[in-house]
């Protein structure tokens, strides 16, 4: 199967139209009393050297939460933002200088509730390669990409059950010295499963 931007957009649209659009993964127990904060991330795709890559950032040790962790560009919704795309594109511009007009939005994935009590909407978008990033060095220590097919290889990550709950933890093998795990790893695997390029 040759992955094109049209195919990626169609797979995302089909997933949103199906029953999976109603399902969201929660890293913690959630009930009616749980107060969740709105957030969105951009899942940036780049086509470089003949193959798709997924772009990630590593957070600095100076940020308030998730210090030093690999993540997607993103953050909490601002007042007045009514779509996940607005939040994801604003945050991507603030963190690593991706201009919203340079992003071709391909679709959304199902939301995810994180252990830090955010309900995160992942927005998938394609950005040009090469790209001149402007990194907010207070927040972001590094910008890097990982080949999509490496991420899709089931031998490159573990999925651990968490006790007797239905939850699990996904952690990738190190890639170029970076550790992709937790919520960002789960969003990555969810995206790959939506595309139909990874099993399980």
Q: Which fold has domain 5-147?
A: Nucleoside Triphosphate Pyrophosphohydrolase (3.90.79)
CA 127 to the chain's CA centroid: 14
More confidently predicted of 20 and 163? 163
- Grouping H, G, I as helix, E, B as strand and the rest as coil, residue 3 is coil
Least Cα distance to 5 among 108, 186, 126, 122 occurs for 126
pLDDT at 33 (0 to 100): 84
More confidently predicted of 153 and 34? 153
Contact 96, 135 (CB under 8 A): yes
CA 6 to the chain's CA centroid: 19
**Crossing angle of helices 5-17 and 182-195, rounded to 10°:** 100
Domain residue ranges in the chain = 5-147
The pTM assigned to this predicted structure is 0.94
CB count in 10 Å sphere of residue 14? 13
CA distance 193 to 181: 16
Cα torsion at 72, 77, 83, 89 (round to 10°)? Answer: -40
Look at 11-20, 48-57, 115-124, 126-135 and tell me which has the smallest mean pLDDT. Answer: 11-20
Rounded mean pLDDT, 90-111: 97
pLDDT at 22 (0 to 100): 47
């Amino acid at each position: 199967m040759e992955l094109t931007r049209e195919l990626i957009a169609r797979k995302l649209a089909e997933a949103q139209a199906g029953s999976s659009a109603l399902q969201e993964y929660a890293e913690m127990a959630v009930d009616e009393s749980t107060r969740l904060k709105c957030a969105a991330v951009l899942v940036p795709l780049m086509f470089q050297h003949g193959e798709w890559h997924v772009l990630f950032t590593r957070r600095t040790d100076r940020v308030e939460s998730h210090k030093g962790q690999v993540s997607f560009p993103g953050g909490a919704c601002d007042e007045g933002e009514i779509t996940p795309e607005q939040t994801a594109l604003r945050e991507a511009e603030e963190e690593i200088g991706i201009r919203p007009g340079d992003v071709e939005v391909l679709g959304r994935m199902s939301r995810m509730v994180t252990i830090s009590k955010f309900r995160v909407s992942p927005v998938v978008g394609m950005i040009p390669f090469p790209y001149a990033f402007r990194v907010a060095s207070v927040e972001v220590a590094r910008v890097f990409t990982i080949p999509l097919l490496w991420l899709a290889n089931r031998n490159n990550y573990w999925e651990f059950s968490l006790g007797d709950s239905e939850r699990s933890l996904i952690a990738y093998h190190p890639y170029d010295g970076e550790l992709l795990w937790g919520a960002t790893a789960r969003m990555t695997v969810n995206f790959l499963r939506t595309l139909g390029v990874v099993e399980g």
